[in-house]
Chain A
């Protein structure tokens, strides 16, 4: 020890004894390579940050133009007609929310049941294939889901939606105008391209996302508490109800909200299914609706220079909605998981 400590004293220039006693910095600082490395990586991170923030900032900045041109009526007016230069997105906003809510109504129970089945019921050798299956569902491009939905599913689903409107038509949201009992196929036109069918398809598409978040949380439910429930004589369902679901509540809520965010922004599948109709209506079974993303995708090409800002502002509204929903979701998910990453 003395030897080691002696070394620097011998090398140090003989200036004074008090200098030798001053504590030597343990941290050698960063080498030049590391400085370059950190600089580069930080630069990349900042670039991505700027790029992503720029999207939001840019869209938000366009909103001021729109406000200037169309006023606040842009948000609450009910006439959307680009050919007359009337941009009032309330009906489209309504359609977006309706599709997302129907999607949640379909997707949430399926996702919850799938997650429970995979974590609790499935035999252990089936688990991994099942997880692969659900993830594969997430990998199917939305244009293919849309094609399948519009060419196969819709022709079958309209029978169900007609049945609902025939029997529950007195509830306003299930009411459908037109001759829905016609013997020939003319009734079908009233049901094609409705919010319900678009929501059904989007609901199926968001299942994998919600399911993988829920599964991640259910897997973390402590084994000791599960066994405690069994030891008290609980059945499997009793155990799930009292241990797994309360433990995973944050993940259930968070996963559902993440799925809601995805549902709000889904474009191509919705665009393929819906019949374009920009009047506000709450009848979800009746054909014709519009969502922000589908509207942008289908009409953006026809827009002339002065109208671009209006579309960008509609995009900004969608952006704010998704970001808000996702942030809340992230808070729930992060609170519920303990360190381990949930791989989505």
Chain B
């Protein structure tokens, strides 16, 4: 910190004995300096540097060099700010503190990129999707007999909505028992084989989703001569979902206190009773979160569906015959390489719907998983 003016004055005075007057504040400042709070100097140099950098950038970038573009402006502003801030800080502080301030600013701006990106994405999808979103028929009709070029007051995404719901529903019905069963096996039964299962499951959580689709396609459609139906799409989703659910459920089960299990055993309960009556209920909120996050992940899954599921324009609620469309496929098909306004708008609208569903599921998961008192 800089030397306070009082000290400087004291030092400049010729050395002589001074009798302290009682009640008067002499020499060194005895007032406690607040720690961990920003001083006026901290704030002023931050705001001042920001404004100075803005002015310099505006002058040089816009006026003298006549560049354009918001991104370039923002980047130049930020770089100028860092330089100005360094000089401002260095003028009154030691280098250690300059480094501290710079690190704080850089870390904060790195973190804000994520917020910017997420906000930008959400705003973009909803703004672009709005023309389609405010038509009721968008939710209630399908695309049967509707040309993709038709105005937005005709046709909609109900077939994709229903298709997604059915496929995800089947996937959950199959993947939930498998996932939680595996988690119970890994955490409650244990043993060498369980370790192997855990290793494999952990590796599989990061399995590229396209490979799941490839596998299901080759086994079911090429090998067993199934059709490209909703069921085969759902099974591809199962392959991606099981490791996710199993892993996060196992993490939850592992933090169930061992004391609870032992208490149950001490009361004479069998292991099955312990798991069913004690372990699973204790971990209920964590398991629900695992499930919801699994659903959120799977409902946006596109890559396996590109391979396994055919797409359709008509309403089909039977997963056993005929292809089914789904939201991610619908979005992909409407956006990939297309320039027409109406087709794009339907794609954005579907994207907005999918995003809403996923974000609602996500919020729900956070809500269920609220930390109870005492848990980490």
Chain A residues with CB under 8 Å of chain B are 30-31, 33-34, 36-38, 40-42, 44-49, 51-55, 58-59, 62, 109-110, 112-114, 116-118, 120-122, 130, 132-137, 139-145, 147-148, 150-152, 156-157, 159-160, 163, 204, 207-208, 211, 235-238, 240, 258, 261-262, 264-268, 272, 293, 296-297, 300-301, 305, 308, 311-312, 315, 318-319, 322-323, 326-327, 330, 340-341, 343-344
Contact = CB atoms under 8 A, between A and B. Distances in A.
A295 B138 CA distance: 33
17 contacts: A37-B272, A55-B212, A55-B239, A110-B110, A114-B114, A118-B111, A130-B111, A139-B293, A139-B296, A272-B332, A296-B214, A300-B307, A322-B207, A330-B203, A341-B251, A341-B255, A343-B248
B103 interface: yes
B124 interface: yes
Nearest to A156: B71
Given A49-B196, A151-B128, A267-B210, A110 B114 contact: yes
Q: Which 9 A-B pairs have the closest CB atoms?
A: A141-B300, A265-B208, A113-B110, A44-B181, A45-B185, A117-B111, A235-B100, A267-B303, A237-B103
B335 A272 contact: yes
B197 A293 contact: no
Contact of B96 (A44, A235, A293): A235
A135 B193 contact: no
A49 B118 contact: no
Interface string B81-124: 00000000000000011011001101111110111011011001
B111 A55 contact: no
Contacts of A136: 118, 359, 362
A118 B110 CA distance: 11
Interface in B55-74: 69-72
Given A34-B270, A44-B177, A330-B203, A114 B328 contact: no
Contacts of B336: 272
- Most chain A Cβ neighbours within 10 Å, of B99, B115, B207, B299: B207
B211 A55 contact: yes
Contacts of A238: 96, 99-100
A42 B114 CA distance: 42
A196 to B, nearest CB: 14
Contact of A327 (B69, B181, B203, B347): B203
A36 B189 CA distance: 12
Contact of A137 (B117, B184, B209, B243): B117
A contacts with B: majority SS: helix
A188 to B, nearest CB: 13
Contact of A340 (B124, B182, B306, B376): B376
A258 to B, nearest CB: 7
A44 B246 CA distance: 11
Contacts of A297: 210, 303, 306-307
A58 B188 CA distance: 30
B215 A59 contact: yes
A147 B297 contact: no
Contacts of B214: 59, 296, 300, 311-312, 315
Interface in B320-366: 328, 331-332, 335-336, 344, 347-348, 351, 354-355, 358-359, 361-362, 366
A143 B304 CA distance: 12
Interface of B: 69-72, 75, 96-97, 99-100, 103-104, 106-111, 113-115, 117-118, 120-121, 124-125, 128, 177-178, 181-182, 184-186, 188-189, 193-194, 196-197, 199-212, 214-215, 217-219, 222, 239, 242-243, 246-248, 251, 254-255, 270-273, 275, 293, 296-297, 299-303, 306-307, 328, 331-332, 335-336, 344, 347-348, 351, 354-355, 358-359, 361-362, 366, 376
Nearest to A319: B211
Given A45-B185, A48-B197, 13 more contacts: A52-B207, A59-B214, A130-B111, A140-B121, A141-B300, A142-B303, A143-B328, A152-B124, A238-B96, A240-B103, A267-B208, A293-B210, A340-B376
B210 A315 contact: yes
Contacts of A240: 103
A49 B200 contact: yes
A144 B96 contact: no
Contacts of A151: 124, 128, 335, 344
A30 B271 CA distance: 9
Given A38-B271, A297-B307, A44 B209 contact: no
Given A33-B272, A117-B110, A318-B211, A45 B186 contact: yes
A268 B125 contact: no
B177 to A, nearest CB: 7
Contact of A34 (B197, B212, B239, B272): B272
A139 B357 CA distance: 11
Given A204-B117, A272-B332, A326-B206, A34 B271 contact: yes
Contacts of B188: 41
Nearest to A209: B206
Given A53-B200, A340-B376, A48 B246 contact: yes
Contacts of A264: 208
A27 to B, nearest CB: 12
A48 B273 CA distance: 24
Contacts of B70: 156
Contact of B206 (A116, A261, A301): A261
A311 to B, nearest CB: 7
Nearest to A309: B218
B208 A141 contact: no
Contacts of A261: 206
B37 to A, nearest CB: 12
Contacts of A140: 118, 121, 300, 355, 358
